[in-house]
Copies of this chain bind each other. A is one copy, B any other.
Amino acid sequence: MKRKVTLKQIAKELDVSISTVSKALRNSIEISEDTRQKVQAFAKLYNYRPNNIALSLKNRKTKTIGIIIPEIVHHFFSKVITGIELVANKRGYNVIVGLSNESFDKEVINMQMLANGSIDGFILSIAKETLQHQDYHHFIETINQGMPIVMFDRVVNEIPCDKVIVDDVKGAKLAIEKLISCGCENIAIITTKDYVSVGKLRTQGYIEALEDNKMHPKSSLILKVDDKLLSENQLEALEKEIEELFKLNKNIDGVFAVNELYAVTAMKVARKLGLKIPESLQVVSFTDGVLSKHSTPSLTTVSQHGQSIGEKAADLLINRLEMDEGEEGEEEEEEIYETVIIETELIERESTKK
């Protein structure tokens, strides 16, 4: 097995100095045509490739991006990664992934592991636990050390960094307006407890949309599910809560669910109760994933364009990284951070009327 060949070895083999080899390979005009040829031929033969680690150390930049997300088995997050990877690779960067698993500690540890030189900057979405603790010191510290962060989806305003989000309020309004325009008069929402920021915002959009249309939001139609029911796989409990909702409010003719799983489960319960979709009950969901497309009936959803979010986040981060290059030491120069809003889109399928 031929170990990876280095400049040094080539130099020794060809009996020239290391710097000659280095220059020859970079086609420096300082080097004679002759040796250049010789070196390049040899390098090609032995399949020489500069060692990334050495380059990183020398250039003080790794050309890799650290991603920290709560979980990867999740359509939205994997779409985002796809987007990040796409533009990262296009711009010569690699992507290293850490999972927080919704845990504060794992988020902190993972960030520390990566922040010690392994990466140039972070793209991340905050863990639920961190959101609850409201402890953001690890983000602040990372940023203070000169490592830029771009947050997406689950962000928090007080952190000075670029952000890419979806207008959850607006997206929810899109959904509700669709239901209203299709004749719904008693629209329920299935959402999460308020500490999940996106759940809260979508609920807010629901309420605003109703009010905009002179309809009165009724608290009995707002079901705030404990999202542990989701993560801990307690489908039955979720079904029971939803069934209760329907039974206590027989006049429900529209449902807005803040995620696919709630939507699919609501449809299941509804079917069990004899409701026809979309004839007697219409359903719209947030988050456009696999379930929506392949459920029966397929779901009308508000798409967040996860991939676009990833692409934008990567561009923001890399722009900042490469911007910094010019002005290394120039202390505290009134950084301006951007918050990009990716437009949501209503994707109409079979769970609503035309």
Asked if A82 and B75 sit within 8 Å, CB to CB, the answer is no
Partner of A53, one of B53, B110, B146, B291: B53
Asked whether A113 and B94 contact (CB < 8 A) given A73-B79, A144-B2, the answer is: yes
Complex-state Cα separation, A14 to B176, whole angstroms: 64
Asked if A116 and B290 sit within 8 Å, CB to CB, the answer is no
A99 within 8 A of B: yes
A112 within 8 A of B: yes
Query: Which residues of B have CB within 8 Å of A267?
Result: 296
A117 within 8 A of B: yes
Encoded as 1 (CB less than 8 Å from any B CB) or 0, chain A from 141 to 175 comes to 10111100000000000000000000000000000
Complex-state Cα separation, A29 to B261, whole angstroms: 58
Query: Which residues of B have CB within 8 Å of A113?
Result: 94
Asked if A141 and B52 sit within 8 Å, CB to CB, the answer is no
Asked if A97 and B81 sit within 8 Å, CB to CB, the answer is yes
Query: Which residues of B have CB within 8 Å of A144?
Result: 1-2
Interface hit among A33-41, A43-51, A340-348: A43-51
Asked whether A73 and B64 contact (CB < 8 A) given A49-B116, A118-B52, A332-B1, the answer is: no
Chain B residue nearest to A3 (CB atoms) is B146
Query: Which residues of B have CB within 8 Å of A264?
Result: 294
Asked if B94 and A64 sit within 8 Å, CB to CB, the answer is no
Asked if A145 and B4 sit within 8 Å, CB to CB, the answer is yes
Asked if A73 and B72 sit within 8 Å, CB to CB, the answer is no
Encoded as 1 (CB less than 8 Å from any B CB) or 0, chain A from 81 to 103 comes to 11001000100001111110000
Asked if B71 and A73 sit within 8 Å, CB to CB, the answer is no
Asked if B96 and A96 sit within 8 Å, CB to CB, the answer is yes
Query: Smallest distance from the beta carbon of A228 to chain B beta carbons, Å?
Result: 17
Complex-state Cα separation, A289 to B78, whole angstroms: 15
Query: Smallest distance from the beta carbon of A161 to chain B beta carbons, Å?
Result: 13
Partner of A73, one of B49, B82, B296: B82
Can you give 18 contacting A-B residue pairs, CB < 8 Å? A1-B145, A4-B116, A49-B112, A49-B115, A50-B116, A51-B57, A52-B116, A53-B57, A53-B118, A72-B72, A73-B75, A73-B78, A75-B290, A85-B98, A235-B293, A268-B294, A271-B296, A290-B291
Chain A residues at the B interface, C-beta cutoff of 8 Å = 1-4, 47, 49-54, 56-57, 62, 64, 71-75, 78-79, 81-82, 85, 89, 94-99, 110, 112-118, 141, 143-146, 235, 261, 264-265, 267-268, 271, 290-291, 293-296, 331-332
